[in-house]
Amino acid sequence: MAHIHKLLSRPLRRLWRGLREWCGDAAYEQYLRSKSAKTPNLPTLKAAEFYLEQLNRKYSRPNRCC
């Protein structure tokens, strides 16, 4: 039984991680990983601040269909 669990857990975790990355749910975790590697001495945004920053970045640009 443990062997079956081990065989299934890795693909399911990869699927879950891929789904979270695809829909943008893992964006904050990715930010934390890249932030600590690139600029460790700058202050880190909290989750709510990061969310607002993402919204501002997304909707501050002109978005026209025509």
Quickly tell me which residue has 């891929």 as its tokens.
18
19, two tokens: 């789904």
Domain count, the chain: 1
Q: What does the H/E/C string look like for 13-43?
A: HHHHHHHHHHHCCCHHHHHHHHHHHHCCCCC
pLDDT category at 6 given cuts 50, 70, 90 is: confident
Q: How confident is the model at residue 51 (pLDDT cuts 50, 70, 90)?
A: very high
Q: Does position 66 have pLDDT exceeding 70, yes or no?
A: no
- The CA distance from 55 to 49, in Å, is 10
Q: Is residue 26 part of a domain?
A: yes
- Position 52 confidence tier, pLDDT thresholds 50, 70, 90: very high
Integer CA distances (angstroms), 18 to 15, 28, 31, 57, 64, in order? 5, 14, 16, 23, 31
User: Does residue 64 lie within any of the structural domains?
Assistant: no
What domain range includes position 53? 2-59
Q: Kindly state whether residue 66 falls inside one of the protein's structural domains.
A: no
